[in-house]
Amino acid sequence: MNVVLIGMPASGKSRLGRTLAQKLNRRFIDTDKIIRTKYGDISKLFKERGEEYFRKIESDAAREAASAKNAVISTGGGIILNSENMASLKKDAVTVYIKCSPEVLSKRAKLTPRPIYSDGNIKEVERLLSVRAPLYEKYADETIDGDTDDVDEKIIRLIGIIEGK
């Protein structure tokens, strides 16, 4: 069974996923890394080719990641915008939504800019969250609080979720 982490950009999916994979001795797959390896910088792709092109290659990355077995998969924040992405990823998987407040997402985005809200503008974060949160909740089997920076606490919670499945 795979563990699929979903949530907004800057919610901590990659960091948490890497740590969880190490603890469980599983392969770690990051759909954004698949894209960067094959196509280059994501911010540049957004600027030069547009969001529609990016979403197409993101779907390719989702299918590739979903073909893994017993992996921890960190997804891009917009992966939930395409129901086919989620249908692929949810097969033989537990999907966990890393839920963060707009304030925390904005603060983190200012530290590490994201293409979808590069300046960490809280109004833009709130707008995107209002669109995406219902989709994250729809596709999540479980939800954990992503606002805390305590990775160990989140890992303990995730392991409990996985062992309960």
Please state the domain extents for the chain.
2-163
The residue type at 149? D
Residue 117's pLDDT band (cuts 50, 70, 90)? low
Q: Helices (DSSP H) in the chain: which residue ranges?
A: 13-24, 31-39, 42-49, 51-66, 83-90, 102-111, 122-139, 151-163
The candidate with the shortest Cα–Cα distance to 108, out of 74, 146, 76, 78, is: 146
Q: How far apart are CA 40 and CA 38, in angstroms?
A: 6
Pick the CATH number of 2-163 from 3.30.70.100, 3.40.50.720, 3.40.50.261, 3.40.50.300: 3.40.50.300
Residue 148's pLDDT band (cuts 50, 70, 90)? confident
What is the reported pTM? 0.93
CB-based contacts of 5: which residues, under 8 Å, 6+ apart? 13, 16, 17, 72, 73, 74, 75, 96, 98
* Structure tokens belonging to residue 5: 């982490």
Tell me the β-bridge partners of 30.
74
* Structure tokens belonging to residue 36: 């960067």
DSSP 147: S
CB atoms within 10 A of CB 61: 25
The residue among 42 and 115 whose pLDDT is bigger is 42
In tens, the pLDDT along 55-102 reads 999 999 999 999 999 999 999 999 999 999 999 999 999 999 999 999
pLDDT given for residue 43 in this prediction: 85
